[in-house]
Structure 1
Amino acid sequence: MMSTTRSTTEEGTVTGERSTVRTLLRLWPYVRPVRVRLFTAAFVAVLASCTGLVIPLVLKWMVDGPVADRDPAGVWLGALYLLLLGVAEALLFGMRRWMVARPLSHVEAEMRADLYGHLQRLPVAFHDRWASGQLLSRGTTDLMLLRMFLAFPLTFLLVNGVTILVGVIIMLLQDWTLGLVILGPAVPVIVTCVVFEKRYALVARRAQDQVGDLTTVVEESVLGIRIIKGFGRHRSQALAFRKLSRTLRGTELRKARLLAAIWGVIVTLPEMAIGAALVLGTVQVADGNLSAGTLVAFLSTALALRWPVDSIGFLLAMSQEAATATERYFEVVDERPEQQEQSEHQGQSGASAAALPKKSERGIRFRGVRFRYPDAEPGSAPVLDRIDLHIRSGESMALVGATGSGKTTLTALVPRLHEVTDGHITLDGEDITAMSREELRSRVAVAFEEPTLFSASVGDNVLMGADDEAGAAELNRALSVVQADFAHALPQGTDTQVGEQGLSLSGGQRQRLALARAVVGRPGFLVLDDPLSALDVHTEAAVEAALREVLADTTALIVAHRPSTVLLADRVALLSGGRITAVGTHQELLRTNAEYAHLMSGTDEAEDDR
């Protein structure tokens, strides 16, 4: 998918003003249904961590009691206590992991389903702006990061905080002077964490955006492999991929440097404090001011706190990556779907629509239609300007124009793949903005110039254009109409899987199946964008003959480039300079319009509408 993407240069500009907590709180609606289990798991983890802090107290009792008194039975009893505490701690942590596995997989699945459903409801203009790789990375990599955050960092930021607090209290109760020595590095560690968090947020966002860019390149290279091989461009593509890979590698290395820096601080300073406490405590034991058991308990507690303190760095890093993933996820989810845009459009133009007189005319009517793409430069000329056109009920209208004249854009306005900037389009006198999109698209069938098939069976691809109740009879009729009987000769008949984008079929076969999808539902209105461009002469003649029967029962707008396609229509409209400049029969326009005659001479058949 080629697109004017939201790239790293645009998206990687997150500022340090972002609140990580506020960003992560947006996950609450997804977490709320499983909150009881997650809170229980967090409580179990806190209990397990505090169980580990009891071990130093048992050591103190053993050293000052059985060891000092040379009591072997007491030593064995103490060893049993330590074993039981260790087993209890292990079981509690295992229980925590078991408790979070199922609910977090549910949260990830729900978020992925919501993202996918929302993407289906977003307007075509959104998909024109966004690269598919950026969307894929949000639905895969980013959601994986969020699941990892909810499973580990979220819990252990709480657990480790409680553990450090309880451990410090225990140490202060053992000996407050040694406790103050241990607390000495707290201020520089906190300052380091604040600085690290701001810098890491920027780099994490940049890295995740670059993953999206890389995904886009991979996807485009796979889908366009025939072009790459056909033009021998594999080396240049590989170079472009390596360039993006090196950029991502550099960003990941910067993340590693930041993580190494904070680890250097939060590991070194506490270690130095423990060393100082060991020296000071040994002196106090030698002076008789402190018992050996108390020193052992103090140092054991300090060592037990090493993991909670050392883990601060990567827990903060994972939290920042999760916050970035949350931002990226909601950047898409916050985009307005078609339903909201419809309401807004009606709010802006409802008064003028209501003022339109009721029309008895039937068919498709364009009245003063103007259209400018949402991302067009301010003040630029519209692609379509004051289009007035009436396709009578049961009539077929061919739309002819030079390359880039806006023919495809005009046809996309009928099913509301794009919204008109101004003016109105009516079907049998009813403004299309007054209809729900579901109703509109059930009445209007489309076949695009580029036939798109999905990784499904031939039958599933064709019946996508019909009601859910449609079956073999409708399928066979549609295949017959478009001369696609080849489908029955495939290995599994119409149950044959066509593969990704239907590339296992020829271009003409794909186009006939796309055309069958358009006619299978017997639509009242049909919009065809050069539907016969990929057919050979003999197949084209057969399909045209069958299409004439279909067109006799429908109202159709057909983008045409060749005289053979134009002859399918009752009348022809010439689109030039964004306006309809002539309407008549094929023969009339050949005699009276030089531009039309030139177009039909075959010198300007290529079409590449935006």
Structure 2
Amino acid sequence: MTEIPAPADDRGRLSSLAMLLPFARPYRGVIALTFTGALLATLTQLVIPLVTRAVVDGPIAAGDRAGLVPLLALALGFGIAEAALFFLRRWAMGISSLQLERDLRDALYQRLQRLPIAFHEGWSSGQLLSRATSDVSTIRRFVGFGAVFLVVNLITCVVVSVLLLVTCWPLGLAVLATSIPLVVFGLRWEARYNTESRRVQDEQGELATDVEEAVQGIRVVKSLGRSRLVFDRYDRTALRLRDLELAKVRTLALIWCLFEFHPQITLAVILVGGSLAVAGGALTVGGLVGFVALFTVLLWPILSLGFLLAQAQETASACDRIRELLDAPMTVTDRPGVVPLPVGTPARLRFEHVAFRFPGAGEPVLTDVDLDIAAGETVAVVGATGSGKTTMTALVARLFDVTGGRVTLDGHDVRDLPLHQLRTVVATAFEDATLFSMSVRENVTLGRPGADDDQVAEALRVAQADFVHELPWGLDTRIGEQGLSLSGGQRQRLALARAVLGRPSVLVLDDPLSALDVHTEALVERALRDVLAQTTALVVAHRASTVLLADRVALLQDGRVTAVGRHTDLLAQVPAYRALLSSESQLAGALTEAGSR
């Protein structure tokens, strides 16, 4: 779970909210119009108490009915103006807040797409999802309402306080004196609310993760009959979230209670003090009525400050959570001034003293890997579980960057190639096939959107994925989320078709045939040989047939390539290779039989 920060002081909260300034800058005109409309609409309310005082001390006191007409017309005119300004504020507010929400969400999504794999492996998807949805919506609500009225209401408080002092300075000072405890206790509870709000937002991310995992793994959950276990896990998180929400509600209730109680006490002070002032002749009846009317204008700004400050706290926490993503380091990026370099088809792939260690990990995964794969050659990497085979393949397309040595294509360090070029000339098929909720054609052409129908058909033939033509709408059939409407073997075949589409310069296969039956695997391998003959391939091998696709085999041990050669040579000369194969009788039997021919 994400670590809960210490309560932010006022400077910290302002710093958090300052993150929004670059996103608000393009809409500063509309935002200024929003503030202007809200401020003028609020200030027009102040005319009514002044008109009320004039009515009481003038036409009513003098019995002049005709004198009421212009004053009432003036009040009506300001009422109409207030309504028009209210419409203007709502219109401008909607435009600015929705535009800013869109830009912020776009920036966040683009950042998530660019952040390295190492970042995503350290974050739960639920935490990312809650930041991209609920936190962004929290910011939109604050920008469209809270920020506007927080400033407008504070200005209103200042203006009304000045008018109260001008109307009757002793009563005005009394009103200001009663506000001191409100400020002191309000700031104290706002800091507490800030911490509780952050805990709630983080726990919402944990709950989203539980829901997402349960939905994505529904087949496993049902097949094992563990629905109750999954629900109990969800329920525990939901109960924690409820408890945190209740704690936040209690704090907010205390804040509301304080801000509700203050006006009642202050109004009692005004009525007692004002009555004494009228009795002593220091204040007219109209002046007292106007003073009370002015104070009633203050009721909404005072009452709203409680939830507006609470909303500001939630928004500051949301900004902090989003800034954690926007400020996350981009460890895999293009070097300054990088330009496309000539890479042949097929390309020569070399690992030169390559080392790799996961951030924050202890022992390195790879220590000194040397491997030279000639253009057009296929090399299978064999090793025990956890030896670093998958990590080694991930370095080719810079899913991770080496921490020592270098990986080259035709003599060019892959870090000197623009990422868009590198990931065009290098195609990867993973053991765990990932498909998206889009059409079959879109999934296959994901890496090469410009591929024509003939290229798509060839890729499907190689991957033995002709089953797509039997789907309801053929290549235009939309498959479900994660491709769950397809079998595991069908998903792998589509992922393989995606990798071989366009005949890349380097093809990286991380055991992409593991989910295929023996018959389909044989057909795929027969077609795949034609592709491998025209490209450079690095293949992680766990099965006999996969090893036999390779021209040479590399044995990976203790973070190093300890032996490279033809299978038959390694089987005869390298005891560690024989021991590795003997641990899987099926693989050993098939390869031994193949080697004896």
| TM-score by shorter chain over 0.5 | yes
Alpha-carbon distance between aligned partners in 1 of 2:8 and 2:94, rounded to the nearest angstrom = 33
Alpha-carbon distance between aligned partners in 2 of 1:173 and 1:102, rounded to the nearest angstrom = 39
Aligned twin of 1:319: 312
| 1:374, distance to aligned residue in structure 2 (A) | 0.8
| 1:249, distance to aligned residue in structure 2 (A) | 1.6
Alignment of 1:146-225 (within 5 A): 146-225=139-218
Aligned twin of 2:573: 592
1:453-481 CA-partner distances (Å, limit 9, x unpaired): 01111111111132x32121111110011
Moved more, 416-425 or 589-598: 589-598
1:532-557 CA-partner distances (Å, limit 9, x unpaired): 11111111111100000000001101
1:107-146 CA-partner distances (Å, limit 9, x unpaired): 1111111111111111110001111111111111111111
Q: Is the 8 A contact 1:14 1:205 kept in 2?
A: no
Aligned twin of 1:462: 444
| 1:273, distance to aligned residue in structure 2 (A) | 1.7
| 1:328, distance to aligned residue in structure 2 (A) | 0.9
Q: Is the 8 A contact 2:126 2:210 kept in 1?
A: yes
Pairing 1:97–2:90 present = yes
Structure 1 residues 318 and 500: alpha-carbon distance in aligned structure 2, compared to 1, 3 A threshold = same
1:271-318 CA-partner distances (Å, limit 9, x unpaired): 212111101212222333321111100001111101101111111111
Structure 1 residues 223 and 579: alpha-carbon distance in aligned structure 2, compared to 1, 3 A threshold = same
Q: Is the 8 A contact 1:487 1:493 kept in 2?
A: yes
Pairing 1:571–2:545 present = no
Aligned twin of 1:490: 471
Aligned equivalent of 2:262, options 269, 278, 290: 269
Moved more, 64-73 or 507-516: 64-73
| 1:73, distance to aligned residue in structure 2 (A) | 3.6
Aligned twin of 1:391: 373
Q: Is the 8 A contact 2:347 2:506 kept in 1?
A: no
Aligned pair count? 580
Aligned equivalent of 1:428, options 410, 416, 422: 410
- AA partner of residue 547 (structure 2): V
Alpha-carbon distance between aligned partners in 2 of 1:124 and 1:104, rounded to the nearest angstrom = 32
Alignment of 1:122-137 (within 5 A): 122-137=115-130
Aligned twin of 1:370: 355
Q: Secondary structure at the residue paired with 2:571?
A: helix
Pairing 1:450–2:432 present = yes
| 1:212, distance to aligned residue in structure 2 (A) | 1.1
Q: Secondary structure at the residue paired with 2:45?
A: helix
Q: Secondary structure at the residue paired with 1:553?
A: coil
Aligned twin of 2:386: 404
Alpha-carbon distance between aligned partners in 1 of 2:299 and 2:277, rounded to the nearest angstrom = 23
Q: Is the 8 A contact 2:93 2:145 kept in 1?
A: no
Identity of aligned residues (%): 49
Aligned twin of 1:528: 509
Q: Secondary structure at the residue paired with 1:573?
A: strand
Q: Secondary structure at the residue paired with 1:185?
A: helix
Aligned twin of 1:286: 279
Q: Is the 8 A contact 1:185 1:270 kept in 2?
A: no
Q: Is the 8 A contact 1:16 1:201 kept in 2?
A: no
- AA partner of residue 465 (structure 2): A
Aligned twin of 2:341: none
Structure 1 residues 319 and 108: alpha-carbon distance in aligned structure 2, compared to 1, 3 A threshold = same
Alpha-carbon distance between aligned partners in 2 of 1:246 and 1:223, rounded to the nearest angstrom = 22
Unmatched 5+ stretches in structure 1 = 1-6, 348-360
Alignment of 1:500-579 (within 5 A): 500-579=481-560
| 1:18, distance to aligned residue in structure 2 (A) | 5.5
Aligned twin of 1:118: 111
Q: Secondary structure at the residue paired with 2:367?
A: strand
| 1:17, distance to aligned residue in structure 2 (A) | 7.4
Aligned twin of 1:227: 220
Alpha-carbon distance between aligned partners in 2 of 1:18 and 1:250, rounded to the nearest angstrom = 29
Q: Is the 8 A contact 1:562 1:600 kept in 2?
A: no
1:489-546 CA-partner distances (Å, limit 9, x unpaired): 1110001101101110111111010000000021011100111111111111111000
Alpha-carbon distance between aligned partners in 1 of 2:537 and 2:98, rounded to the nearest angstrom = 48
Alpha-carbon distance between aligned partners in 1 of 2:454 and 2:583, rounded to the nearest angstrom = 39
Structure 1 residues 324 and 57: alpha-carbon distance in aligned structure 2, compared to 1, 3 A threshold = same
| 1:238, distance to aligned residue in structure 2 (A) | 1.3
Q: Is the 8 A contact 1:184 1:273 kept in 2?
A: no
Alpha-carbon distance between aligned partners in 2 of 1:605 and 1:276, rounded to the nearest angstrom = 92
Structure 1 residues 319 and 17: alpha-carbon distance in aligned structure 2, compared to 1, 3 A threshold = closer
Q: Is the 8 A contact 1:403 1:604 kept in 2?
A: no
| 1:415, distance to aligned residue in structure 2 (A) | 0.7
Alpha-carbon distance between aligned partners in 2 of 1:507 and 1:12, rounded to the nearest angstrom = 43
1:157-187 CA-partner distances (Å, limit 9, x unpaired): 1111111111111111111111112112121
Alpha-carbon distance between aligned partners in 2 of 1:451 and 1:60, rounded to the nearest angstrom = 77
Aligned twin of 1:351: none
| 1:447, distance to aligned residue in structure 2 (A) | 0.2
Pairing 1:109–2:102 present = yes
Aligned twin of 1:381: 363
| 1:194, distance to aligned residue in structure 2 (A) | 2.1
